[in-house]
């Protein structure tokens, strides 16, 4: 049985999507050029807001976790896996990682893409302040 959580955010002029091992959405209302993994700010939810059943499903090492990110009628899908160490306790930001590193911001590990892999048209729309919706689904 799959479970989903939805997060809405907005882009920012400093979105560069240059990071080669992570992607991130944050509830922060600002972005500096150093935040090269951040795709959206002012997220309406954080990992701490996700349902207990969703979090529990993500704590299975065999769980497939998919982030479907929509911006300006364009979509990118990033797939990773769960991990027993995932806590979803962070109340500010969520990070998908290509590595196996886990902290309280991690929403998936061993992701098949990072910010740097996202299509330039999507990155340009985010840099123009476009709205972003991410569906995070676990199966």
The predicted-structure confidence for 18-71, as pLDDT tens digits, reads as follows 999 999 999 999 999 999 999 999 999 999 999 999 999 999 999 999 999 999
In tens, the pLDDT along 86-123 reads 999 999 999 999 999 999 999 999 999 999 999 999 99
* CATH of the domain spanning 3-138, picked from 3.40.50.620, 2.60.120.630, 2.40.50.140, 2.70.98.60: 2.60.120.630
Could you tell me the pTM of the whole model?
0.96
Sheet containing 22-26: which strands, arranged edge to edge? Answer: 38-40, 22-26, 93-97, 106-108
CA distance 139 to 114: 21
């Amino acid at each position: 049985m799959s479970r989903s959580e939805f997060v809405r955010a907005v882009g920012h002029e400093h979105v560069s999507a240059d990071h080669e091992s992570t992607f991130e959405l944050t509830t922060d209302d600002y972005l500096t050029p150093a935040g090269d993994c951040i795709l959206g700010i002012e997220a309406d939810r954080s990992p701490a807001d996700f349902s207990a059943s969703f979090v529990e499903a993500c704590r299975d090492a065999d769980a497939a976790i998919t982030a479907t990110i929509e911006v300006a009628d364009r979509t990118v899908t990033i797939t990773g896996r769960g991990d027993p160490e995932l806590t979803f306790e962070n109340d500010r930001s969520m990070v998908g990682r290509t590595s196996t590193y886990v902290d309280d911001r991690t929403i998936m590990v061993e992701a098949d893409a990072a910010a740097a892999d996202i299509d330039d048209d999507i990155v340009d729309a985010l840099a123009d302040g476009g709205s972003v919706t991410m569906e995070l689904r676990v199966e």
